[in-house]
Chain A
Amino acid sequence: MAHSTVGVIFSNIHDENISELSRHRTMASVPFGGRYRLIDFALSNMVNSGITTVGIVTKNNYQSLIDHLGSGKEWDLARKDGGIILLPPYSDETDKPYTTRLEALMSITGFLNHRKEDYVVISDCDGIAHMDVADIVRFHEEKGADITMVYHDETHPCESSYFMTLEPDAAGRVKGIKINPKDLEGKTYHLYVNVMVMSREFLISTIQDAVTRGFSSFGRDILTKNVDTLKIYGYAFRGYYAGVNSMTDYYVHSMELLDGTVRSELFGGRDIYTKVRDSAPSKYLEGASVTNSLISDGCVVEGTVENCILFRGVKVGKGSVIKNSIIMQDTVIGENVTLDCVITDKNVVIRDRRSLAGCAELPYFISKGRML
């Protein structure tokens, strides 16, 4: 990268979209793909593009995130200068903790002022993609843009409670931005995927300006209002993109990982970093039958597993048949259990001979630590 870039990741935004999974954790630390957390994708994209400093904006329930990130060494971000810098919420007698993205940005101006990088890339954790961040910054420079917003063409209506669509012209200049448009059924539209690039200077001055004017919403008060005066460009991301905007999305996109082309887009050619647990490799016992499934380390399978994603340390007992399900870390499934379209959160215990089923549109969710 010709110019240096600092990353900012919002760990809590969009939590409400998958409240079952984010009840006890940030969006960033929602488990995904057998051994990852959602933040691993945004963070690995940055690291793989040569970024060595990432500020992580937190708000609440960030214990699991701190635990996951540790010193940042798994991402090679345990650095003397920079590395992973957690930015917890700030409040005093006059200031309450932030409630909007703009307020969150206001609260991290200290961090932004202290950095020396030319550009800032801001990303949320709700998207799973292999993005070349360096290429987005290059695009931003070439266009001489004030703000570059990354979009992905979608054909299904977005289920998020808050999202934006972009209307770029042939040169990429964004001519219109809509918040939560309704009439998307049957259309192809350009969904903003919550990744944007600005120069650090521009971001700081924009925040200062917003403070003096008493603005509160980045989308409404800054982006949509200034679409004619600011040079906002849309960067078309053409690769595989999975937005996690609902539990159905979470389930559907998890299952897409069973497709080899999706896996090679996400994992091929570069590494996705994550916390390691030093689990033993998984064991398949005599009589096990595993087909079309992703299995993480530390699993012990004796039963039948079909079209499933098993996270680390899952046990599937003899005679059990698990289909179309996502089984999270350290879940123990006893003998002769039947599961179909079930998502278990971490540390669930399912005793012998239980039978549970959901459907693809509404998978049956079992919350963390429950015993059935």
Chain B
Amino acid sequence: MKKMLRKKECVAMLLAGGQGSRLYALTNNIAKPAVAFGAKYRIIDFPLSNCINSGIDTVGVLTQYEPLELNEYIGNGQPWDLDRAFGGVHILSPYQAKKKQSWFEGTANAIYQNMHFMKKYNPEYILVLSGDHIYKMNYAAMLRAHKETGADCTIAAIEVPLKEASRFGILNCNPDGSIYQFEEKPKVPKSNLASMGIYIFTAEKLFKYLEADDANPDSSKDFGKDVLPAMLNAGEKMFSYRFKGYWKDVGTISSLWESNMDLLGEQPAFDVGDADWKIHSRNPLAPPEYIGAEADVQNSMVALGCEIEGTVIHSVLASNVVVEKGATVRDAVLMAGTVVKTGAKVEYSIVDENVVVGEGAVVGESKEKGAGIAVLGRNITIAAGAKVKGGEILDKDYKGE
């Protein structure tokens, strides 16, 4: 008997090669999708959790920039239940081949270079994702819509304020949701429906257009600039899929800070504690956090292994953070293993992993002063008594002026 061909209906391709240069010191040595978020997560946990919660169990993660930490974090995919004998999560790095060797040149090229990976699963649909956003989305519902409209490509879209629309790829649609025009960062936007960078393609169509795009020497090998317009010009059926919910690009220091703060409060703007849509992550091995006898912790999120003796207000603290006696942390995001020593003050800041803020040191200024968010890169020490001004970005030890 002929062996039955095993297949996956939908394979997800997650573009995780981004440098995230607007996150400055936070992405010196790691790719943007590996940036820590929300006390225990990393940005990539959101698309990966969305995949598994949507029943998509085959994910290719395309890495390029500083992939070490991201590769290690994803490992065999077990935290997301993506360690599978057939399918599961796979890291796809640029590689050498007999005929050519090259880095991924653009988003479309990255997917094109991994055609053999997708074809191995004989899929009907390809879901293209990016590792830059914080959101919860049921891709299965989007796939259903894609099938119902009989589209060749479906693009997830969200309404944004019209005055910000020129920062996005804008979809101009007919009343039935079909797209008649695609404008990349238009100066005068005709609509406020922005592409979320989430695409579902009918696999055969995608393969055809990727091959054509690769053969085109004038193409920049980008989905938004090249592949999608080419499909539209050729008259392929392209539909928008309206998403209503929390969706945030955490590509800048201020949006990363805001998105962290959106987790706080009784009715948070974004709830990571939703039992029906769990966000999976690699969990820290740490005992429960200890809140000391003189501690004051309010309106905050605190992860396992923290030792808090001081004051923590309106802040997000990742695992194993220490806040000593008399220290104050306000409006801040502290990543894993950071220590705030006695009497030190951290305000309106993002502090990366394993930073030491010395005794009596001051990092940042109150939000109201308008100097902006102070950022400390990982593994650095701020000397006792030193002052780091609001809005400053440091990635080396600092002794003060």
Contact = CB atoms under 8 A, between A and B. Distances in A.
Interface stretch (B91-99, B286-294, B352-360): B286-294
Given A288-B297, A293-B290, A302 B266 contact: yes
User: For A273, A291, A309, which residue has the most chain B Cβ atoms within 10 angstroms?
Assistant: A291
B261 interface: no
Contact of B291 (A266, A272, A279, A293): A293
B301 A281 contact: yes
Contacts of A202: none
Contact of A278 (B281, B292, B299): B281
Given A284-B299, A285-B298, A297-B303, A278 B290 contact: no
B302 interface: yes
A73 B318 CA distance: 24
Contacts of B38: 280-281
A113 interface: no
A260 B292 CA distance: 10
- Of the four ranges (under 10, 10 to 19, 20 to 34, 35 or more), the interface on chain A belongs to 35 or more
A4 B345 CA distance: 51
User: For B265, B278, B286, B297, which residue has the most chain A Cβ atoms within 10 angstroms?
Assistant: B297
A288 B266 CA distance: 12
Contacts of A267: 286-287
A34 interface: yes
A276 interface: yes
Contacts of A292: 291-293
Interface string A279-318: 1111111111111111111101010000001100000000
B283 interface: yes
B285 interface: yes
B266 A285 contact: yes
A212 B297 CA distance: 64
Contact of A295 (B40, B291, B294): B291
Interface in B263-294: 264-266, 272-273, 278-281, 283, 285-294
B266 A282 contact: no
Main secondary structure of the interface of A (DSSP, over half): loop
A228 interface: no
A267 B306 CA distance: 13
A284 B265 CA distance: 8
B340 interface: no
A140 interface: no
Interface string B64-83: 00000000000000110000
Contacts of A273: 285
Nearest to A34: B288
A296 B294 CA distance: 19
B231 to A, nearest CB: 38
A33 interface: yes
Nearest to A288: B298
A242 to B, nearest CB: 14
A73 B280 CA distance: 16
A294 B304 contact: no
A328 to B, nearest CB: 12
Contact of A296 (B39, B264, B300, B304): B304
B265 A286 contact: yes
Given A73-B78, A284-B302, A278 B283 contact: yes
A285 B313 CA distance: 10
Contact of B285 (A266, A271, A298): A271
Interface in B304-350: 304, 307, 312, 318
A283 B301 contact: yes
B295 interface: yes
Contacts of A294: 287-291
Interface of A: 33-35, 73, 257-258, 260, 263, 266-267, 271-273, 276, 278-298, 300, 302, 309-310
Given A280-B273, A285-B266, A297-B288, 12 more contacts: A283-B273, A283-B301, A284-B302, A286-B299, A291-B291, A291-B293, A292-B292, A292-B293, A293-B291, A294-B290, A296-B288, A309-B288
Interface of B: 38-40, 78-79, 264-266, 272-273, 278-281, 283, 285-304, 307, 312, 318
10 contacts: A272-B285, A280-B40, A281-B303, A284-B297, A284-B301, A285-B265, A289-B296, A291-B293, A296-B289, A296-B304
